[in-house]
Amino acid sequence: MRLLVIGGSDAGISAGLRACELDPSVEVSLLVADAYPNFSICGLPYYLSGDVADWRDLAHRTSADLEAAGLELLLDHTARAIDPAAKQVTVTSQHGEQQLGFDRLVIGTGAVPVRPPIDGLDLPGVHVLHTMADTFRLHQALTAGAGSAIIVGGGYIGLEMAEAITSRGLAVTLVEQAPAVMPTVDRALGELLGQELRRHEVQVVNDVTIKAIHPETGGLTVAGEPDFTATADLVLVVVGVRPNTQLAAAAGVQTGVRGALRVDRRMRTSLPDVLAAGDCVETWHRLLQQPTYHPLGTTAHKQGRIAGETAVGGMAEFAGSLGTQVVKVFELAVARTGLRDQDAAATGFDPATVGSVEFDHKAYYPGAHQLHLRITGDRPSGRLLGAQLLGDRRAQVAKRIDIPATALFHHMTVAGLSELDLSYTPPFGSPWDAVQMTAQTWTRHTQGGQPTQAASHETPT
């Protein structure tokens, strides 16, 4: 059986490796549009900051590792068209055009950066950050003597790049059109992140929409509304991504949420023997029980694994995503999982969000840090719907958000969080973990301290 995979990032690599693992007789060919298979896109800011000295270290596995696992790597090969009836893909490379046949096909074309309606996006000195080629161009600009930068977009990548570029000694201005940076968390937490950025001399501008970029002698001028103008040596535009679906859609694959490829939970598309996974496809939301769009590396790995298993006859299903994320911003970390208040209300819940501030471990033990926590639950049922968390990067924010993420995965109530048997010792926590104390605060505020149905008795709806 010949399995052809289009895309050499998380989903495509995972699909190919899983297929080889389950059926060593399968012939897996991997089409990679550049020469960098299995590189960590999430690691790009840390190479640009200098934390990762060698870009080669961003590879999850070397090409030799992948070939030893059974994958045929076709590097610098670009898929141009898919003929699902003939089961062929038209491919171009330095050797010209050729047709590659397949018995089953996995599409893992990922996402591409959103290009907002800004005049001047194609000017020299204006950068995006998504591929290794983007990275090398930006790295060259940073090392060529740039002294200042304007970052358009205050989401995950924008925040990580603000830290990365600042650490290289540049003066950084970060512009976000929302009232606070990190619009995927509640404004109160975004404002704390803004304070942390300013504490590290990043100029943060909110409530401004960039409209144009103009060349100036020795730099670029960025103009926005209302009443914003600034000049810098380089501009980085990172306002999100959209699914890269042109190739698949042209072949007849149906699309769904936000134009992403429609797949079932076995990662099958609308075309027979054609699967898809990763940032180009819809994501099954475990809590909502419906498709959404959540382009995350963790999700891409899982979906790719399912696609590879399906390709060789397996019956595994994608269990679903909760949108669990975490990001480091200088000395802070911020994380979220599940639904926020407005998201929950829009989908028919009666939500309440309650926040509290707790110490990460017993305050009498040296080095205690405050954590800002927010829990969202459904008032009538007490069901846990989401959580957000911000605190010092040493306060185990990433692992603490995994507590409510795990609870959400298993349809627990807010009160059920208090019943979890979590570890405790004064240097690392408290008899009631900070997450559990926030859960108890939610119960007091929303249900008068009355007991709610325990998680062990919860019936998923």
User: Is the domain of 207 the same as that of 141?
Assistant: yes
Is there a single domain that holds both residue 294 and residue 398? no
Whether 232 and 255 map to the same domain: the answer is no
Q: Is residue 119 part of a domain?
A: no
What distance in Å separates the CA atoms of residue 317 and residue 70, rounded to the nearest whole number?
A: 24
Let me know if residue 391 belongs to a domain: yes
Residue 54 is predicted with a pLDDT of 94
* CATH number of the domain where residue 213 is located: 3.50.50.60
Q: Are residues 350 and 428 in the same domain?
A: yes
Q: Among 329, 451, 324, which Cα is nearest to 387's?
A: 324
* Domain-located, residue 412: yes
In the DSSP assignment, the letter for residue 87 is: T
Based on the domain organization, do 301 and 190 belong to the same domain? no
Q: Break the chain down into helix, strand, coil percent, rounded to 5.
A: 30, 30, 40
Helices (H) and strands (E) in the chain, counts: 13, 25
The CA distance from 156 to 147, in Å, is: 23
Same domain, 339 and 453: yes
* pLDDT value at residue 120: 95
344 and 303 both lie in a single domain: no
Q: What is the CATH number of the domain that holds 422?
A: 3.30.390.30
Is 249 strand, coil or helix? helix
Does 247 lie in the same domain as 103?
A: yes
Residue 445 neighbours by CB distance under 10 Å: 14
Side-chain-side CA neighbours of residue 24 (13 Å): 2
pLDDT at position 69:
95
- Dihedral of CA atoms 249, 250, 252, 258 in degrees, nearest 10, equals 20
**Tally of CB atoms within 10 A around 168:** 14
**Whole-angstrom Cα distance, residue 213 to residue 289?**
42
pLDDT value, residue 447: 78
The pair of three-digit structure tokens given for residue 347, joined into one six-digit string: 């989908």
Number of domains in the chain: 3
Short-list 198, 214, 217, 216, CA closest to 206:
198
Residue position matching structure tokens 């898809």? 276
Establish if 7 belongs to a structural domain: yes
For residues 62 and 84, membership in a common domain is answered with: yes
Q: Is 33 inside any structural domain?
A: yes
Q: Within this chain, do residues 301 and 196 fall inside the same structural domain, yes or no?
A: no
Task: Identify the pLDDT of residue 213.
Answer: 97
Which of 255, 276, 311 is the last residue in one of the domains? 311
139 and 90, same structural domain?
Answer: no
CA-closest candidate to residue 224, choices 152, 170, 158: 152
The pLDDT value recorded for residue 452 is 44
Residues 444 and 336 in one domain: yes
Average pLDDT of adjacent 10-residue blocks, the chain of 461 residues: 96 97 97 94 94 93 94 97 98 96 98 95 94 95 94 96 97 97 96 98 97 92 96 96 97 97 98 98 96 95 98 97 97 98 95 96 96 97 97 96 98 96 95 96 82 34 29
Strand 351-359 and strand 370-378: the pairing is: antiparallel
User: What domain range includes position 346?
Assistant: 331-457
DSSP character at residue 129: -
Element (H, E) at 22: helix 10-22
* Burial of 22 from C-beta contacts in 10 A (0-12 / 13-18 / 19+): middle
**What's the CA gap between 90 and 99, in Å, rounded?**
5
First to last CA, the chain: 40
Do the domain assignments include residue 317? no
Q: Where are the beta strands (DSSP E) in 84-170?
A: 88-93, 96-101, 104-107, 111-113, 126-127, 148-152
Whether the model clears a pTM of 0.85, i.e. scores above it, the answer is yes
Q: Which residues contact 386 (CB under 8 A, 6 or more apart)?
A: 336, 337, 338, 339, 340, 343, 344, 375, 376, 404, 408
* Structural domain includes residue 170: yes
> Are the beta carbons of 93 and 77 closer than 8 angstroms?
yes
Token pair 């698949």: residue: 248
Domain-located, residue 153? yes
